[in-house]
Structure 1
Amino acid sequence: MSNPVTDLVLGFQGLVADVPDLVQPLIVALAGAVPFIEGEGAAAIGIIGGIHPVIAALAGAVGNLLCVAVVVLATSRVRAAVTTRRGAPAKAPTARREKFEKAYHRYGTPGVSLLGPLLLPTQFTAAALTSTGVSPARVIGWQALAIALWTAGITTIALGLIRIAA
């Protein structure tokens, strides 16, 4: 049985190999915008596809961050529309929502942003933070730092493993 994420990664790897060199970073950026692939997975796709590691990491991180920014801005608008609507009945929070809010109160925006990729894609974490009322600029700033750190860290580890294997 095939795994959809694995199939998607293999599809991106094939696409990177099939397009001209100048277009390859755009494919890596597109992969970075996909939840569960993220900037770090996209960087690995680019490196395996033969792109210079720094370019692959930058392209993956930029693609991830652009997608997160779109999610944050959209979530912010939805939250504003919902909170300004009059007479909307309050819903009881779900168990998942309560778990997120407990983590948020314990670690704050920086902690949730930096540790979030261990559990959820950055797009989901960013939407959850924005929906709780954290300002879009704060969410995007902390998510940018998290994306940069995770992408750089995983890219460095991948390069080390490639060197060991060679």
Structure 2
Amino acid sequence: MDNPYEGIQEWVQQLPEIVQPLGVAVAGTVPYFEGEGAVAMGILLGINPIVAAIAAMVGNFLSMLAAVLISSRVREKVVASRGGKDQFADAESVATSSRRAKGQRRLQGWLSRFGLPGASILAPLALPTQLTGAFFAASGVEKERVVFWQAIAILLWTGGVAVLSTGLVGLLGW
């Protein structure tokens, strides 16, 4: 089977070596594309799979970290403005809120059922890590724990897609 990506692969290979992983890292910052999409794209375009995986993880992690820090800070200000009363502490009221989007309700259910580790690892099935990290931090989970478990999820999902993409590209001979 002919490689339909040969032209773009040749173009990417002509770019300076530092630009290639930077492009993958930038792609990893995009919600819904994230590390998984960025690493697959990088490998498909002929970038070394390990370099592509690290770049995709770094880009995804940095954007998730920014989202968590911002939402945590906003939450602190909201709680402080209400005199320290934390209306988000009752997980049941958050889970049953009719204004929550379907993905957020699913995420809150996973958080209640599996705890932060399980919810973080399952979360990419519902929402991007940037949004889930922000949601967890805004819900009152300690930002350090959120960042740790979201980083584990990024590592697992991006690493898994990197392995699958490398195998697929090798199998197809691209």
The two structures have a TM-score, normalised by structure 2, of 0.80
- Distance in 1 of aligned mates of 2:51 and 2:156: 15
Supply the AA of the counterpart residue of 2:58: V
Is 1:118 paired with 2:140? no
**After superposition, what is the alpha-carbon deviation per residue over 1:133-161, rounded to whole angstroms, capped at 9, x for unaligned?**
01111000001110001111011011111
User: 1:97-116 counterparts in 2 under 5 A?
Assistant: 97-116=104-123
Aligned-partner Cα distance in 2 for 1:102–1:118: 13
The answer to whether residue 75 in structure 2 is matched with residue 79 in structure 1 is yes
**1:98: Cα distance to partner?**
4.3
Q: Distance in 2 between matches of 1:115 and 1:100?
A: 9
Q: 1:98 to 1:115 in 2, by over 3 A?
A: closer
Aligned residue among 138, 146, 149 for 1:139:
146
The gaps in structure 1 that reach 5 residues or longer are 1-12
RCO greater where, 1 or 2, for CA within 8 Å and sep 6 or more? 2
State whether structure 2 residue 46 is matched by structure 1 residue 50: yes
Contact between 2:28 and 2:37, CA under 8 Å: does it hold in 1? yes
Paired AA for residue 113 in structure 2: R
Percent identity (aligned): 44
What is residue 4 of structure 2 aligned with on the other side?
A: none
User: Unmatched 5+ residue regions in structure 2?
Assistant: 1-7
Residue identity in the other structure for 1:138: R
Residues matched between the structures, number: 153
Task: Return the index of the structure with the highest Cα Rg.
Answer: 2
1:9-20 pair list within 5 angstroms: 17=12, 19-20=15-16
The residue identity in structure 2 corresponding to 1:124 is L
Does residue 163 of structure 1 match 2:159?
no
Contact 1:112 1:125 survives alignment (8 Å): no
Does residue 40 of the first structure (1) align with residue 36 of the second (2)? yes
* Mapped partners of 1:100, 1:116: distance in 2: 6
C-alpha deviation, 1:39, in angstroms: 0.7
Q: In structure 2, do the counterparts of structure 1 residues 98 and 55 end up closer, same or farther at CA, with 3 Å as the change threshold?
A: closer
- For 2:5, the equivalent position in structure 1 comes to none
* Deviating 4+ runs (over 4 angstroms): none
CA RMSD of aligned residues (A): 2.4
**CA deviation map 1:57-94 (0-9, x unaligned):** 00000000000000000000000001111379x69832
Amino acid in the other structure paired with 2:27: A
